[in-house]
């Protein structure tokens, strides 16, 4: 008997809350993998959010009065979706950890924007049967920038290297899924999707190279499992699509194979991974983010 999706979701959520990454959960539920990936990606964001300290009532009333006074003097602004998209796209990539005051300010702002975006996702999810949620959107969707903004926020809030490897691995798998869905619909995935795929794969390898050897092995195995799974799905999609998207799919397939070879070699000799991300780092590889753990966070 085919398992009920709600039961599968409960089981997957329990494993996620225990700290297991999506890359090891989804292969156990191949028939429900796409639906689980969208839901668990959203719950991962919610779980990772730190508590937000709200201002006291006096400050809130003062801010409200200031806002209302300015609002009466300003022209009509764009719609809420356009404003939210703009906030996410322009604000989140600037998130950093350079100074204590700046870190606190940006951390609070990113958390608030992220929660607002998630609220919008929930609204879109229940607004009607044809509503497209941001977390399930494709690159040709108007709400796709919100999806990328949520991912950027989640990456910015993830300061543990092993967790960041798992997250980049999951996002690389999501980029492949997007390319597959576009190809099956007869659309050609653009270069930006392929570039984001490469970024996530290279970032996962770079961060894995900074882990202790035992932890590195586990992270590399996660990457390897994802690559093996998505390689099979790419092969299936290539057999079903027209000639137009084939070039992009072939590029993605080749990239997965190349990174898979590096991962396999790294599992046999971890020094190869560390050397690759120092003296032997490819010239075309994108600049990787620096991970600065919070106080008390494991390195």
Nearest to 19 by CA among 39, 42, 48: 48
d(CA 58, CA 60): 5
Indicate if 185 and 93 belong to the same structural domain.
Answer: no
pLDDT in tens, 215-249: 999 999 999 999 999 999 999 999 998 888 999 99
Q: Is residue 283 a part of any domain in this protein?
A: yes
Indicate if 83 and 105 belong to the same structural domain.
Answer: yes
Q: Is residue 20 a part of any domain in this protein?
A: no
Alpha helix (H) residue ranges in 72-190 = 80-91, 100-126, 144-157, 161-184
Place of tokens 């801010």: 63
pLDDT in tens, 44-62: 766 666 666 667 777 777 8
d(CA 223, CA 4): 29
Indicate if 208 and 257 belong to the same structural domain.
Answer: yes
Last residue of a domain, one of 157, 183, 199: 157
Indicate if 242 and 142 belong to the same structural domain.
Answer: no
Indicate if 107 and 193 belong to the same structural domain.
Answer: no
Indicate if 178 and 266 belong to the same structural domain.
Answer: yes
Check: CB of residue 262 under 8 Å from CB of residue 192: no
Check: CB of residue 230 under 8 Å from CB of residue 176: yes
Indicate if 253 and 190 belong to the same structural domain.
Answer: yes
The confidence score (pLDDT) of residue 7 equals: 81
Q: Is residue 99 a part of any domain in this protein?
A: yes
- Number of structural domains (the chain) is 2
pLDDT tens per residue across all 299 residues of the chain:
667 777 888 888 888 888 888 788 888 888 877 777 777 777 776 666 666 666 777 777 787 777 777 766 655 555 555 555 555 555 544 434 444 444 444 445 555 555 555 555 544 444 443 334 567 788 988 878 878 887 887 888 888 999 999 999 999 999 999 999 999 999 999 999 999 999 999 999 999 999 998 899 999 999 999 999 999 999 999 999 888 899 999 999 999 999 999 999 999 998 888 887 654 444 444 444 444 433 333 33
SS3 call for 255 = helix
Q: Is residue 21 a part of any domain in this protein?
A: no
Indicate if 243 and 261 belong to the same structural domain.
Answer: yes
d(CA 87, CA 90): 5
Check: CB of residue 112 under 8 Å from CB of residue 76: no
The pTM of this model reads 0.57
pLDDT in tens, 163-178: 999 999 999 999 999 9
Q: Is residue 279 a part of any domain in this protein?
A: yes
Range of the domain at 124: 30-47+78-157
Check: CB of residue 19 under 8 Å from CB of residue 166: no
d(CA 60, CA 113): 18
Q: Is residue 232 a part of any domain in this protein?
A: yes
Q: Is residue 66 a part of any domain in this protein?
A: no
Last residue of a domain, one of 157, 181, 200: 157
Indicate if 152 and 167 belong to the same structural domain.
Answer: no
Query: How does 85-120 read in b/e, with b if 16+ C-beta sit within 10 Å?
Result: bebbeebbeebebeeeeeeeebbeebbebbeebbeb
Indicate if 84 and 124 belong to the same structural domain.
Answer: yes
Last residue of a domain, one of 102, 134, 157: 157
């Amino acid at each position: 008997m085919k398992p009920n999706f709600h039961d599968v979701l409960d089981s997957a959520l329990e494993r996620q809350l225990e700290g297991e990454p999506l890359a090891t959960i989804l292969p156990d539920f191949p028939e429900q993998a796409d639906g689980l990936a969208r839901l668990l990606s959203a719950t991962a964001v919610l779980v990772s959010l730190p508590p937000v300290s709200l201002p006291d009532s006096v400050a809130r009333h003062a801010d409200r009065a200031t806002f209302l006074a300015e609002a009466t003097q300003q022209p009509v602004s764009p719609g809420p979706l356009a404003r939210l998209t703009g906030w996410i796209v322009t604000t989140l990539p600037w998130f950093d950890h350079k100074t204590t005051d700046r870190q606190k300010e940006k951390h609070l702002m990113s958390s608030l924007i992220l929660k607002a975006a998630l609220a919008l996702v929930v609204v879109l999810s229940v607004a009607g049967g044809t509503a497209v949620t941001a977390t399930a959107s494709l690159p040709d969707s108007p709400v796709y920038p919100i999806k990328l903004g949520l991912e950027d926020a989640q990456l910015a809030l993830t300061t543990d290297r092993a967790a960041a490897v798992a997250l980049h691995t999951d996002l690389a798998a999501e980029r492949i899924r997007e390319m597959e869905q576009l190809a099956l619909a007869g659309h050609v995935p653009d270069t930006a999707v392929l570039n984001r795929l490469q970024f996530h794969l290279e970032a996962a390898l770079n961060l894995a190279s900074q882990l202790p050897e035992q932890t590195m092995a586990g992270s590399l195995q996660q990457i390897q499992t994802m690559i093996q799974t998505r390689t099979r799905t790419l092969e299936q999609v290539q057999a079903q699509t027209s000639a137009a998207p084939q070039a992009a799919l072939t590029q993605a397939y080749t990239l997965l194979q190349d990174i898979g070879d590096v991962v396999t070699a790294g599992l046999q000799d971890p020094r190869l991974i560390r050397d690759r991300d120092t003296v032997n780092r490819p010239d075309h590889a994108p600049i990787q983010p620096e991970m600065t753990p919070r106080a008390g966070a494991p390195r």
